[in-house]
Amino acid sequence: MMKNRFDEQVEVLNTQMIEMGSLIETTIESACDALQTADLQKAREIIEGDALVDRKEREIESLCLRMLLTRQPVAHDLRVVSSALKMITDMERIGDHAADISEIVTMMNFSAAMQPEHFGAMSRAAIEMVHRAIDAYVRRDVDLARDVIASDDTVDDLFCDVKQELIELLSADASRGGEALDLLMIAKYFERIGDHATNIAEWVEYSVTGLYKGDVLQ
């Protein structure tokens, strides 16, 4: 097989995707840390750092558009570029959610450090999904991508558990309603992060097999 300019561009694209992936991974991990340790300084840094993710998205976007314009790729090449274009939107949203979480952290009252029991498990599961979705893209691993898609249910279940805990908490002590709502929103963000990781995994599957959610895209 002849190696051509397009392949070189695909390599650049891969590197950029890995960079953006690790960027959002570290961002949500830090957001998690900031939440657990009530580190307001760290939270502010994350909010400012979101611009970095946005810039990465722009870079990848313009690279993809340039590849489409100049190479008019078909078949597998087209899927690599188009799925990258779709994936970065989800990755950028994950970055946004990490910033959203950090914003809540900066405004939260941590005096009474209250953490629902399943909260840690849920955030870990969501972070794990993002990590594995990006891993699946890098390694073009369809099985791993399918695993990620399946594990979305776990995160959804955990979200229900967290919600239940928070309801119980509220009925026990109605005065902590604000705190409970903040935590619910954070949980919702983690749940959304899980959804975006699922989307990424679905595009990984498409870029390798040509099937999106089991169908041929026409």
Partner 1 sequence: MSKIEIKNLDLYYDDLQALKNVNMSIAANRITAFIGPSGCGKSTLIKTLNRMNDLIPGCHITGSVTLDGEDIYGKDLDVNLLRKRVGMVFQKPNPFPMTIYDNIAYGPRTHGVHRKAMLDEIVEKSLQDAAIWGELKDRLLKSALGLSGGQQQRLCIARALAVQPEVLLMDEPTSALDPISTAKIEELALQLKEHYTLVMVTHNMQQALRVSDTTAFFLLGEVVEYSDTEKLFSMPVDKRTEDYITGRFG
Binding site for partner 1 (CB under 8 A): 1-4, 6-7, 71-79, 210, 216-218
CB of 209 to partner 1, least distance (A): 8
State the greatest distance between any 2 C-alpha atoms of the chain, in Å, as a whole number.
69
- Give whichever of 8 and 157 is closer to partner 1, judged by the CB atom: 8
CB of 59 to partner 1, least distance (A): 24
CB of 135 to partner 1, least distance (A): 25
Phi/psi of residue 167, nearest 5 degrees: -60, -45
CB of 136 to partner 1, least distance (A): 20
Q: Coil, strand, or helix at residue 4?
A: coil
Is the distance from CB of 69 to CB of 35 less than 8 angstroms? no
- Give whichever of 190 and 203 is closer to partner 1, judged by the CB atom: 203
- Give whichever of 79 and 97 is closer to partner 1, judged by the CB atom: 79
Token couple for 168: 């119980």
Q: Which residues of 57-95 are buried (b: 16+ CB within 10 A; e: fewer)?
A: beebeebbeebeeebebeeebbbbbbbbbbbbebbbbbb
- Give whichever of 179 and 202 is closer to partner 1, judged by the CB atom: 202
